[in-house]
């Protein structure tokens, strides 16, 4: 059996067969919906199992396990979307949801309605193939997951006696989905996801600072080898120790150099959301109506790529059954396109880019990012640092805020350094980057040759929905950016 056949067989065995459903019966559901004029309809079936483990003070203090399943029913007429969902997968529940969706469409409501099932959830466990033929939750025994967290904590403490506290968490998801569409297309996917995070607190002379690291992807727990655990421990401990030596950050307008990898989260938030199809169709994005215009410095090329093997933001198909792809958003500074789901693509006369995503069966589809990153340039990172007489080098970021309508952002750096006369001098504390995403792109003066993707920890929020994503970039020099500090 080839890989597509395995995916489809797995989806049938989890989502249809246990509930005495057959593909042929789904046509009748569409028939119920299409007694009212519609442009499109789909059924989104989902089964998921997830777990989480956390360690603190050498003790695994919490563990969770959850099984969820259900079906979302969507109907589209013009710009109007009608949506209902049920946490029971059965033909009666499907018919009830379809009739409710039809009623929503007729009344003009845009709200999701929950159609409650008539019987308890059927909870079944099974192993099947994924991108690799393993269920991440079952890839190691529970005792092995506890040992993994304990080993990570031990590595952190052994690296430096100033480490006084270690907190670590491990999580995994096994998800099976099937999309049946009114255009007679059926698609399926089986999606694994694992993530490991560690946070350390170091103390010196009464001062405490923290550092964090982690990673993961669409694979199983075997991904977390001893070498990778040492990498996470080393990064977290190093960040905490660097921050122990930090001084108050300066304030003012200056040159800022962003490090490679995770600092791409600034690109994701300040620029990426503004390139999603719904914001641009409605004219609420700073990039609306600017296809073909220069929106960034020469040398800046940004893509959204859902096809990278095993990456956290990658998908075989999006949540509408369309294959994901690599979409060029900005090419050499010129805006080339937006990320589209089927609805916004149809309304604007373009093709879907495979960016229709939803948090679960209980949520509507939105155009969302997958793995969004800037391509490498020609400058060595050392050359970029050496070119700055007075500035800030931001290596890692924590939280931030962005206004999608105008691109204004505020980001706090969790690891940053002062640049003086082309050299890194001392670490900074309290550095905040303040600016405007579209304007920031025009101030990029040097693009590094060291493209890195993040380690696999990103979560993106939009309209109350969270989905896993990836970010990345090379080292960047940005001229005249506002730095907020206390020094």
Residue pLDDT, tens place only, 307-353: 999 999 999 999 999 999 999 999 999 999 999 999 999 999 999 99
Is residue 40 exposed (0-12), middle (13-18) or buried (19+ Cβ within 10 Å)?
middle
Mapped onto helix, strand or coil, the DSSP state of residue 475 is coil
Q: Number of H helices and number of E strands within the chain?
A: 10, 25
Contact 446, 477 (CB under 8 A): yes
User: So what's the pLDDT on residue 291?
Assistant: 97
User: So what's the pLDDT on residue 46?
Assistant: 98
Pairing of strands 476-484, 444-447: antiparallel
Contact 304, 372 (CB under 8 A): yes
Contact 278, 366 (CB under 8 A): yes
CA-CA distances (angstroms) from residue 71 to 67, 153, 447?
14, 40, 45
Encoding tokens for residue 84? 């209902």
User: So what's the pLDDT on residue 366?
Assistant: 97
Mean pLDDT of the chain: 91
Model pTM greater than 0.75? yes
User: So what's the pLDDT on residue 127?
Assistant: 38
The C-alpha atoms of residue 242 and residue 416 are separated, in whole angstroms, by 9
Contact 232, 463 (CB under 8 A): no
Contact 262, 397 (CB under 8 A): yes
Contact 483, 447 (CB under 8 A): no
Instruction: Per-residue pLDDT tens, the chain, 487 aa: give them.
Output: 566 677 888 888 999 999 999 888 887 788 777 766 788 889 999 999 999 999 998 898 889 999 999 999 999 988 889 999 999 999 999 989 888 887 766 665 444 555 444 332 222 233 344 467 578 999 999 999 999 999 999 999 999 999 999 999 999 999 999 999 988 888 899 999 999 999 999 999 999 999 999 999 999 999 999 999 999 999 999 999 999 999 999 999 999 999 999 999 999 988 999 999 999 999 999 899 999 999 999 999 999 999 999 999 999 999 999 999 999 999 999 999 999 999 999 999 999 999 999 999 999 999 999 999 999 999 999 999 999 999 999 999 987 778 877 888 999 999 999 999 999 999 999 999 999 999 999 999 999 999 999 999 999 999 999 999 999 999 999 999 999 987 7
The C-alpha atoms of residue 90 and residue 120 are separated, in whole angstroms, by 11
Q: Which residues pair with 317 in a beta bridge?
A: 323
Q: Which residues pair with 256 in a beta bridge?
A: 392, 478
Mapped onto helix, strand or coil, the DSSP state of residue 446 is strand
Residues contacting residue 109 through CB under 8 Å, at least 6 positions apart: 82
Compute the half-sphere exposure of residue 180: CA atoms within 13 Å on the CB side of its CA.
22
User: Measuring CA to CA, which residue among 256, 248, 270 is closest to residue 410?
Assistant: 270
């Amino acid at each position: 059996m080839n890989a597509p056949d395995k995916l489809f067989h797995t989806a049938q065995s989890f989502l249809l067969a246990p509930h005495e459903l057959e593909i042929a019966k789904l046509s009748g559901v569409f028939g119920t919906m299409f007694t009212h004029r519609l442009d499109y309809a789909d059924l989104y079936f989902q089964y998921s199992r997830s777990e989480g483990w956390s360690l603190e003070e050498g003790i695994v203090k919490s563990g969770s396990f959850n099984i969820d399943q259900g079906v979302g029913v969507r109907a589209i007429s013009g710009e109007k979307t009608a949506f209902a969902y049920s946490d029971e997968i059965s033909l009666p529940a499907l018919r009830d949801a379809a009739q409710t969706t039809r009623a929503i469409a007729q009344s003009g409501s845009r709200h999701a309605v929950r159609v409650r099932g008539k019987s308890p959830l059927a909870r079944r466990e099974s192993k099947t193939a994924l991108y690799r033929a393993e269920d991440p939750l079952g890839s190691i025994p529970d005792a092995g997951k506890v040992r993994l967290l304990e080993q990570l904590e031990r590595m952190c403490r052994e690296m430096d006696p100033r480490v006084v506290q270690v907190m670590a968490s491990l999580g995994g998801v096994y998800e099976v989905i099937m999309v049946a569409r009114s255009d007679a297309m059926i698609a399926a996917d089986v999606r694994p996801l694992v993530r490991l995070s560690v946070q350390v607190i170091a103390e010196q002379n009464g001062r405490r600072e923290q550092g964090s690291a982690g990673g993961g992807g669409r694979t199983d727990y075997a991904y977390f080898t001893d070498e990778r655990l040492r990498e996470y421990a080393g990064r977290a401990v190093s960040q905490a120790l660097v921050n122990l030596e930090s001084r108050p950050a300066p304030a003012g307008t200056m040159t800022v150099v962003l490090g490679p990898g995770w600092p791409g989260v600034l690109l994701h938030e300040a620029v990426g959301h503004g390139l999603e199809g719904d914001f641009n169709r409605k004219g609420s994005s700073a990039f609306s109506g600017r296809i073909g215009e220069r929106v960034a410095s020469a040398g800046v090329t940004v893509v959204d790529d859902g096809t990278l093997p095993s990456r956290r933001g990658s998908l075989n198909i999006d949540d509408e059954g369309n294959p994901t792809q690599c979409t060029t958003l900005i090419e050499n500074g010129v805006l080339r396109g937006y990320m589209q789901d089927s609805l916004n693509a149809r309304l604007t006369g373009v093709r879907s880019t495979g960016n229709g995503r939803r948090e679960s069966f209980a949520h509507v589809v939105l155009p969302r990012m997958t793995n969004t990153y800037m391509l490498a340039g020609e400058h060595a990172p050392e050359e970029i640092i050496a070119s700055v007489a007075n500035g800030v080098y931001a290596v890692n970021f924590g939280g931030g805020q962005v206004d999608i309508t105008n691109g204004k952002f505020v980001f706090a750096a969790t690891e940053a350094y002062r640049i003086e006369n082309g050299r890194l001098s001392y670490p900074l504390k309290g550095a905040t980057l303040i600016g405007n995403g579209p304007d920031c792109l025009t101030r990029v003066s040097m693009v590094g040759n060291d493209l890195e993707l993040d380690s696999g920890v990103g979560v993106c929020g939009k309209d109350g929905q969270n989905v896993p994503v990836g970010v990345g970039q090379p080292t960047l020099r940005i001229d005249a950016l506002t730095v907020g500090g206390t020094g």
